C-alpha cells in the first residue's frame, strides 16, 4: 500500500510540474482590459497570476420596467479587486484553456445610503479560454463564479464579522498585451 501511495505522489508531481511549466511558458507579463460584469476591468498578468480591478453599476437606471427609466435615488455599485492563480494548457495551436483558484474583495450597494453598503470577501474559480492573435496579443473570455462572505455597516456596528453568504458571477471578454 505504501508503494502505491508513493507511486501516486510521484505521478502527480511529474504531471503537475509539466502542467506548471506549460503555464509559465505560455504567459509572461502583460496588461489588458475586459468588458463584462463588472462593466470594466483592468487586468495585470504575470506567469500564473491575474490581478483584476473592476468597476461597474447602473447609476440612475431602473431595468425592471418595459423601458429604461431614470431614478435619481437609485445607485447600483459594484467594485471588485481579484487575485487569481491560473494554470493554462494548449488545446490547439493558438487556443488555450486556463483554470485556477482565486480570491476577491467586493463592495456593492443598491441604494445611495451608506448603511446599505456591503463588503464581501470571496473565493472564486476562474475559467479562461483565450486565443493568441499575435505573439504578444491575446483575446478571450473569462468566467469566474465565486462565493462571498458579506458584511454590511449594520453588522459591523454590532461587532459581527459577517452577515451572510452570497454568490457572485464575474466574467467578460478581455484583451491583453504582453510586454515580455
**Domain CATH code at residue 81:** 2.40.160
Q: Give the domain extent around 11.
A: 2-178
Tally of domains in the chain:
1
Pairwise CA distance, residues 32 & 93, whole Å: 22
Per-residue pLDDT at 139: 96
Q: Which residues of 11-22 are buried (b: 16+ CB within 10 A; e: fewer)?
A: eeeeeeeeeeee
In this predicted model, what pLDDT tens digit does every residue of 69-117 receive, in sequence order? 444 444 456 788 999 998 888 888 889 999 999 999 988 776 666 667 7
Pairwise CA distance, residues 132 & 35, whole Å: 18
Per-residue pLDDT at 123: 94
pTM of the model: 0.71
Amino acid at each position: 500500500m505504501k508503494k502505491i501511495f508513493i507511486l501516486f505522489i510521484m505521478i502527480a508531481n511529474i504531471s503537475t510540474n509539466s502542467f506548471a511549466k506549460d503555464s509559465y511558458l505560455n504567459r509572461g507579463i502583460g496588461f489588458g482590459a475586459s468588458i463584462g460584469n463588472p462593466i470594466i476591468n483592468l487586468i495585470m498578468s504575470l506567469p500564473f497570476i491575474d490581478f483584476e480591478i473592476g468597476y461597474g453599476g447602473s447609476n440612475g437606471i431602473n431595468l425592471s420596467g418595459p423601458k429604461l427609466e431614470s431614478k435619481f435615488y437609485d445607485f447600483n455599485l459594484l467594485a471588485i479587486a481579484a487575485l487569481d492563480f491560473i494554470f493554462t494548457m494548449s488545446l490547439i495551436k493558438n487556443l488555450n484553456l486556463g483554470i485556477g483558484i482565486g480570491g476577491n474583495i467586493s463592495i456593492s450597494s443598491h441604494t445611495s445610503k451608506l448603511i446599505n453598503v456591503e463588503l464581501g470577501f470571496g473565493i472564486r474559480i476562474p475559467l479562461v479560454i483565450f486565443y493568441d492573435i499575435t505573439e504578444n496579443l491575446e483575446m478571450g473570455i473569462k468566467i469566474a463564479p465565486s462565493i462571498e462572505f458579506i458584511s454590511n455597516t449594520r453588522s459591523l456596528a454590532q461587532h459581527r464579522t459577517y452577515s451572510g453568504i452570497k454568490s457572485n458571477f464575474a466574467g467578460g471578454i478581455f484583451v491583453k498585451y504582453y510586454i515580455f
